[in-house]
Each structure stands twice: as C-alpha cells, then as structure tokens.
Amino acid sequence: MRTFYLTTLGVILVAALGSRLGAADLPVPWFLEECTPQQGARAVQLRQEMMKAGPESDIYVPIPFPRTEPDVVEDASYQLLESWSHYDEPTIPSDVKPLLSALEKAAVEYQVLDVTNWLPKHCPTRSYGKTDRLWLVRMVANEGSGEIARAVLNESGLLAHFGTAVSWAKNHSSPMPWVDPFEAARSAAAQLGGHAVGFQYVAVAGPTFECVDAMPCIAFRIGDRSYLYKSPSLYLVSTDRPGVQGVRMDEFMREGPKRKAAIAALRFPEYIITVGGVHIAVATPVKIPSPGRR
C-alpha cells in the first residue's frame, strides 16, 4: 500500500480554505497543457467499468467519480478500512491503528480540497486515462488531537495514497507546510495589479519544486500570464522559454542535449515544473510588491 507522511497540524476550518464542494458548483479546472483525445477516451472507459464494478473488484468504490464532499469522504473512508481489513491486527503499523479506530467509530472530521492535476499522471500513456482533478482529504480527530492523516484520491474516487501524522513526525525535522487559503493568493495577486481569475489548488511536479497533491500550491491568471502561489512566494509560469519549450520531463531527467539546453536556459533561482502534461515549464520567482506600491 502506497503511503506518504505528514505532521500533526491543528484543525483547519474548511471555510478558511475555500467553500464546501457541491456537485452544481464544482469549478472547471484549467491547464497549460491538455491531454490527447485517446487519453480522454480511456477515462470514459474507466468510468463505464467502475459503474459496473462490485465490491470484489479492484476498481470498486461506493461513489464512482464523486462530485461532493460527502461522496469523496465515503470513498476515502471505505477504501482505507477495506484495505487494512485484510491484514492481521499485529501486522498493521502502529501509526495506522489509531486512524482505523477513529474511522470505525466515526470519530473523524473531514476537510476536502479539489486539487487540479498538473502532474505528469494527468495525461498517462497507460492505465486509466486522464485525471483532471485529485481529491485531498484531511482527517482530524474529534477529540482535538489535530490532523491524524491525509489521503489523496484520483478523480475516479480510487485511493492514490495516504499517510499519517505520526509517520511524518518520525521522519522529518519540521512540520508539513500549511495548506494556503485562497485569500492568501488573492492578496498576493492584488499587489500585482490587474484582474486575477481562475484560482485553483494545483499539484505540480519538478525536480526541486515541491508542490505535490498532499501539499498543493494555488494557481491563478492575470491576463495571459499564469502564476503559482506557495506561501510566502509567488512564481510566474512560462511555457514558451527557448530551450525549454517542447522538452518532456523524462527527457529533462536524462543526461542529453535537451537537458543541457533546458538547464542553460534557466536563470537562477528558476525552477522546472510540469503544468498538466508531459512537457516542462519554467517557474520564475516574482517579487510581491508591498501594499500600495506597484
């Protein structure tokens, strides 16, 4: 079972992160690179398969392709409990046991974030076709001990990975970064001038740029420019940089002329990232003007 790890955090109200999810008002995610029609067709096929799947199937979830917060929570809790039900009690990791106990007792509060998938797996060449959005589920114990675990679900509702607070605390010397509320990004955008739109949580990949699905950044647009906000920093995203444009992430990660050209095109301290497809882009730090000074 794939896991990630996180630290204990205090309770964070959903209202501070964004409005609760509702089927009628889910925003349409936007990308800087789109998938092929073939990848979209595979996603349609998966939907049809999941709608017919029973509990004995590897692709079964109670609510295939959830659209509301309760549906996402039902899929997450079902899969966590079901996955560990096949293990003998002594073999279950000690940090997982309190989570399972809380889930069984319904002693968990949930917070769900809609995260747009700018990772390379948005447009896979195999598997389940494109995955436009990911669901980040934060689990907080009712007794006030703070966040005990996080899980990430694919758009289909299938569990991608999860981790507990205890494991992160044992393996890291610092707490996991706070998930920024939209208001923090709106405040930064306001200092740039112009009309900012399209605020969305995003997960991106990059060799040295950490903005994963369990710790998403916030993307927005002003005119024809796209930005990433990761407190306390703001980045301008460029997809047309000479030497970088058209280079795939797998090509950048291998020694060769394309990697050398892309590195030569960077200006310190810029970062290589993905923006929804297989190709790379550049994230350039932007100085946020002081309020009233632009």
Q: Which two tokens stand for residue 47?
A: 């939907």
Contact 220, 196 (CB under 8 A): yes
Radius of gyration of the chain (CA): 20
Is the C-alpha dihedral spanning 50, 70, 212, 172 positive or negative?
Answer: negative
Average pLDDT for 260-269:
94
Average pLDDT for 34-56:
83
pTM score above 0.75? yes
Tell me the pLDDT band of 125, cut-offs 50, 70 and 90. low
Please, what is the end-to-end C-alpha distance for the chain in angstroms? 49
pLDDT at 148 (0 to 100):
86
Q: Is the pLDDT of residue 115 over 60?
A: yes
> For the stretch 282-293, what's the b/e string if a residue is b when 16 or more beta carbons lie within 10 angstroms of its beta carbon?
bbbebebeeeee
Q: Is the pLDDT of residue 1 over 60?
A: no
Average pLDDT for 240-257:
94
Task: Please work out, in degrees rounded to the nearest 5, the angle formed at the alpha carbon of residue 40 by the alpha carbons of 154 and 29.
Answer: 60
What's the CA gap between 11 and 75, in Å, rounded?
22
What's the CA gap between 242 and 180, in Å, rounded?
32
Q: Is the pLDDT of residue 4 over 50?
A: no
What's the CA gap between 183 and 118, in Å, rounded?
21
The percent of residues above 90 in pLDDT, for the chain, comes to 54
Q: Is the pLDDT of residue 8 over 50?
A: no
Q: Is the pLDDT of residue 23 over 60?
A: no
The DSSP code for 287 is P
